Amino acid sequence: MTHPQIAAFARLAKENQPPVRTLEGQKTLLSRTMHGFSYDPIHDEIVVNSPLSQAILVFRGGANGEEAPLRIIQGPKTGILGMGYAALSTVTADPENNEIFLPVGSGGYRTAGTGGPEGVLVFDRMANGDVAPKRILTGPDTQIRAATPQVAVDPVHNLLIVKSNGLLIFDRAAGGNAKPLRVIRGPKTGGFGGGQITTYPEKGLILSNSMDGWAVWKITDDGDVAPRWRIPVRQITGGGQNSGIAVIPNYKEIMVASALQNRVLTFYFPEMFE
């Protein structure tokens, strides 16, 4: 059985090339079932969820080996209680606005007066210890109804995107039982698969896992809208869930993590950056 770790590779690393460093060991407090972490390039920090310990861990960007977190968000005041598996599987940093977003699914948190089991907890970037969220986005009007919702932030257009039976587009600072500004959902979308979502704010784009790979929408899209581009990753990989994606504008590339095949694929995609 593999042990939990975060491995850093060279951008041009190829098959069977070892990582340049790994973050692992008991002092890191990393746990299994973390399905997505976030990097903060402004403050050079790595933000990781720890589902089994119901916590958020923040490491320095150059962390290596058995290194302890800089900060730990954990305890009853955080509201990160209940099921510690898929419901707490990813986390998203918003370094421009000094916030951390933790999407929580059914059973993922338990806080009095929140209005529902699914939603998004928002913490201050410098939160440490048993600290309450700054705000919580949850309730029937949000339309967040999923065991494993995923989130991404567009700080340029001040938007929060939640993948939950479609793509729900909110004001970034939305809290409580807020309604989405727009909803991308319907048969023309092609459906949405599991895995993370991300944004490319400079072009106003949303990248989300779809039923056959990855797809790209504009942040202004609304309703039953087909994606601007489709990336049929599953046809290339031969199947399996594609769990993560990263945009690399300097090289006009996207990186896709294929979870079941334990590999990362890099695609040159210049049309998305024009």
* Distance between CA atoms of residues 161 and 18, nearest Å: 34
CA separation (Å) from 81 to 14, 28, 63, 94, 102? 40, 20, 27, 23, 12
User: Domain tally for the chain?
Assistant: 1
The answer to whether 21 and 9 are in contact (CB under 8 A) is no
The answer to whether 70 and 59 are in contact (CB under 8 A) is yes
Domain residues for 114?
21-134
| Residue 89, domain member (yes or no) | yes
**What per-residue confidence (pLDDT) applies to 233?**
67
**What per-residue confidence (pLDDT) applies to 34?**
65
pLDDT tens string, the chain, 274 residues long: the values are 457 788 788 888 887 888 888 888 888 888 766 667 889 999 999 999 887 778 899 999 999 989 999 999 999 899 887 554 445 678 999 999 999 999 887 644 444 334 345 899 999 999 999 999 999 999 999 999 877 788 999 999 999 999 998 999 999 999 999 999 999 999 999 888 777 899 999 999 999 887 767 899 999 999 999 999 988 766 555 555 557 788 999 999 988 877 666 778 888 889 999 8
| Residue 112, domain member (yes or no) | yes
- Residues ≥6 apart with Cβ < 8 Å to 39: 45, 46, 47, 61, 93
**What per-residue confidence (pLDDT) applies to 24?**
85
Structure tokens at 105: 């699914």
Beta-sheet strand order (sheet of 263-268): 242-248, 253-258, 263-268
| Residue 54, domain member (yes or no) | yes
| Residue 265, domain member (yes or no) | no
| Residue 113, domain member (yes or no) | yes
The answer to whether 185 and 162 are in contact (CB under 8 A) is no
| Residue 38, domain member (yes or no) | yes
**What per-residue confidence (pLDDT) applies to 158?**
98
The answer to whether 258 and 243 are in contact (CB under 8 A) is yes
Structure tokens at 86: 């898929």
The answer to whether 143 and 168 are in contact (CB under 8 A) is yes
Strand partners, 193: none
